[in-house]
Structure 1
């Protein structure tokens, strides 16, 4: 008998061990109760099924293959898609701590100051401290009231612009300019909307939102990272990030020079400190227990600006669009505004609080048109179960707030604009009711809701009080194009053009 070489015996033994391990691995995998998932292709996963409007694509996939909880693969990135209030509650309340982190995306790091923004910072002590700074010194009710004069001055400019318009008014552009000017004055102490520098600033911010909402293949399919380089996307991200950094650096340096020259804390618009002053003062005092370095200051300034402009303008645009699409609703809300004000020129918060139909109109707009329909993604920090399904550590989570707010099990005629549904309904958008999540909920819910709604409500009341509205050239409501435009926030594809007639009352 020929002896079998030892190397063959060892090789055979290794193969047997490998097969046994493979068997047990597969058997343990089959025990996992994974969420339903659509079929996927090698390498790209389900990317080929995602169109330019993510919320619509995820809705279609959930209807066909998933349901309220669905697992898809965006390239190599496991992604849990949530499409029901019950599942959203489990993510954002019951197990909120396990989903409190954001994905670490290379593009986000470059654009968002190494993830030092409140919106994307890793969950932990730094995030808690800088969020507290944002809320206390920019977004609190006290600060919102302190900046009332800024809002009133900018609203007066909008009203004057409309009065001087000879023909139709581009309300989409007007809303963007208004929100930009309010937030810039509160944050930076001055506006950046006029002249050549204003054009450069608007172009820079437009490109910022464009790349931030773009498809970054390198994050999802590392094998295709070369496409981002070849298409010029990486170069554009780098250029936009550099321009933003130089802009923010210039603001900080200018303020430091002014403070040094005057030997005082400086002062923003309206005779009160702006956010730049406050952050520099906090850095100097070094009393918050976290290192508020120059990059962190830039991150908070960028966060204050980006979170308060495009999203707010989007809500105003869709609210006005829906009002013009539904003339009976427009008349009803105008009648309420004019009855409450009774000819008053000065509008206070008590007046607005008595306008229940106006608030219902805004809620219905936020239901149908959440500015960030899929919210900001989260990530599972450990293996966890969601609605009985096993979810692996590192899985990203997308909550389709747009889909949840159109659930026919919750909402009658969910695709219809009917503000009346909120007159006798306790559901609100502040993060306690998971049937309506335009601003998210839980630890990572948007802290700027009071600021945004004060801006929205005050401008809308003034416009409804002072003008009557119609579409240009005798247009009818059916002529209004409601097509959405892809992007970080979901705006109208075509600008809203209207004709305003000053009200004589």
Structure 2
């Protein structure tokens, strides 16, 4: 449905039912009235729609601007949805640590509900759910434990080597590369090999429609884009913005891929007639063991939903972060040169960047942190929901309120950072600040019990890909583009992408072994 037509219909329906909402709101106020001073401040509200008109196409930016007036704990009324936006490290600490248990629930939205994902998903299940605890346990033990990280190190190195080989071929042809597609293919193959033991991506098709990348981005947009049904649940059947349809279409594409691998593995097991043989098994093999027997813990539908969480989060965020880092470095040639000098000094000539080298590259690590600060993968994190009334920095947040932690705004707060809009990796040198959920001025992966389970993989993959690109090549922009004019426009979804993909020409610095 055309966006303009959808908005018009949405507003029309809202005003037709205005009397209903005025009556409902009045009754709700009679039930529970708190002192005005106890609730977080916020902008004036329009009848019925509340503050929906202030959301805009980039809510993280709109909310950051509003917080300059209304403070770090700000209240918004988005139709029927009470929302509190957090925009300071102190308030983030209250949400992510002090009151983590009360605020660890999720308020799933219309797109998620349209596929019943809220009942099966690691991301959207309540943390009190036995299924959530099972998913978390499986993630921690079979995917992201230190032992599994070590066991899959050779795989990550192999896939990054494939990336460098592709870049080398492009360099020989003097062709600019779609950095976004290339990086996504690399992270896609890392994840697909961990899950299925196969490559799902190919560099030969970068110029064609990349079904996996566009599908993953489609899922993220369907979940993250503003949706009238999230503000007025009675409008769900209309799907005014088309988010539910977009979600169903894209998730079904992913599920078809998953079913193919699951069915193939089941068939192989049947032929072997030995379901307990786990030799050379991958993550899906391990999950399928849990579907067996009379007391099976899982079924294949559960597995498909779990895989969709791992697949979308694991591929999209890491590749997007490296693309943003390359964009910032191409905009600042001196910073790129400084990083390359450090890498050359540590690795030497005709070598290969190893994961073990990253700890010896403090400036590269600072570049990664600075990229996370300016371009956090999930600018508002995943929405939380208050399970009971809770006080944050002296303000009362009511039960069932949606709580958004605006890490994008915190990363650009002049009260926290000097020259907050400038890309200056030097700010992290000599400091212990990290991205692992203990420093609340920099929490791109969240913190507490809802911290991203894939963090151990991301903090290895992102710097390895970036260091390898900077070590093996010098980089030039296509003709007619200068570093000062590089496009930084963002497209908002659950994750934040460059609107226009970065294209750059790799210039080989040394023999690629």
- TM-score with structure 1 length normalisation? 0.88
Aligned ranges 1:289-308 → 2 under 5 Å: 291-308=297-314
Partner residue, 2:287: 279
Between the aligned partners of 1:112 and 1:436, the Cα distance in structure 2 is: 32
Partner residue, 1:107: 111
- Please identify, of 292-301 and 383-392, the stretch whose mean Cα deviation from structure 2 is larger: 292-301
TM-aligned CA deviation for residue 347 of structure 1: 3.4
Structure 1 unaligned segments of length 5 or more: list them: 1-20
8 Å CA contact 2:108–2:118 kept in 1: the answer is no
- CA deviations on 1:434-490 (whole Å, 9 max, x unpaired) are 111111011101121110121112212211111111212274211211111222211
Aligned ranges 1:2-401 → 2 under 5 Å: 25=30, 28-30=33-35, 33-64=38-69, 66-111=70-115, 113-124=117-128, 125-165=130-170, 166=173, 167-194=175-202, 199-225=210-236, 227-228=238-239, 232-264=242-274, 272-284=280-292, 291-343=297-349, 345-401=351-407
TM-aligned CA deviation for residue 223 of structure 1: 4.8
Structure 2 unaligned segments of length 5 or more: list them: 1-25
Partner residue, 1:4: none
Residues 265 and 343 of structure 1: CA distance in aligned 2, closer, same or farther (over 3 Å): farther
Partner residue, 1:7: none
8 Å CA contact 1:121–1:127 kept in 2: the answer is yes
8 Å CA contact 1:431–1:439 kept in 2: the answer is yes
Between the aligned partners of 1:84 and 1:147, the Cα distance in structure 2 is: 37
TM-aligned CA deviation for residue 27 of structure 1: 9.7
- CA deviations on 1:314-349 (whole Å, 9 max, x unpaired) are 111001111111111101110111100112524333
8 Å CA contact 1:70–1:80 kept in 2: the answer is yes
Between the aligned partners of 2:338 and 2:490, the Cα distance in structure 1 is: 26
- CA deviations on 1:247-306 (whole Å, 9 max, x unpaired) are 3333211211112123456999xx94321111112343799xx93233322222111111
SS at match of 1:96: coil
8 Å CA contact 2:86–2:406 kept in 1: the answer is yes
- CA deviations on 1:198-253 (whole Å, 9 max, x unpaired) are 95444543432332223321121135445425x54443333334443333333211
Between the aligned partners of 2:82 and 2:36, the Cα distance in structure 1 is: 19
- Please identify, of 421-430 and 294-303, the stretch whose mean Cα deviation from structure 2 is larger: 294-303
Partner residue, 1:14: none
TM-aligned CA deviation for residue 312 of structure 1: 0.6
Residues 494 and 252 of structure 1: CA distance in aligned 2, closer, same or farther (over 3 Å): same
Partner residue, 1:10: none
Residues 303 and 232 of structure 1: CA distance in aligned 2, closer, same or farther (over 3 Å): closer
Between the aligned partners of 1:137 and 1:246, the Cα distance in structure 2 is: 24
Count residues with an aligned counterpart. Answer: 478
Between the aligned partners of 1:97 and 1:348, the Cα distance in structure 2 is: 39
8 Å CA contact 2:290–2:297 kept in 1: the answer is no
Partner residue, 1:427: 433
Residues 139 and 330 of structure 1: CA distance in aligned 2, closer, same or farther (over 3 Å): same
Residues 204 and 362 of structure 1: CA distance in aligned 2, closer, same or farther (over 3 Å): closer
Between the aligned partners of 2:338 and 2:276, the Cα distance in structure 1 is: 46
- Please identify, of 220-229 and 470-479, the stretch whose mean Cα deviation from structure 2 is larger: 220-229
Between the aligned partners of 1:470 and 1:306, the Cα distance in structure 2 is: 30
8 Å CA contact 1:382–1:392 kept in 2: the answer is yes
8 Å CA contact 1:96–1:442 kept in 2: the answer is yes
TM-aligned CA deviation for residue 361 of structure 1: 0.6
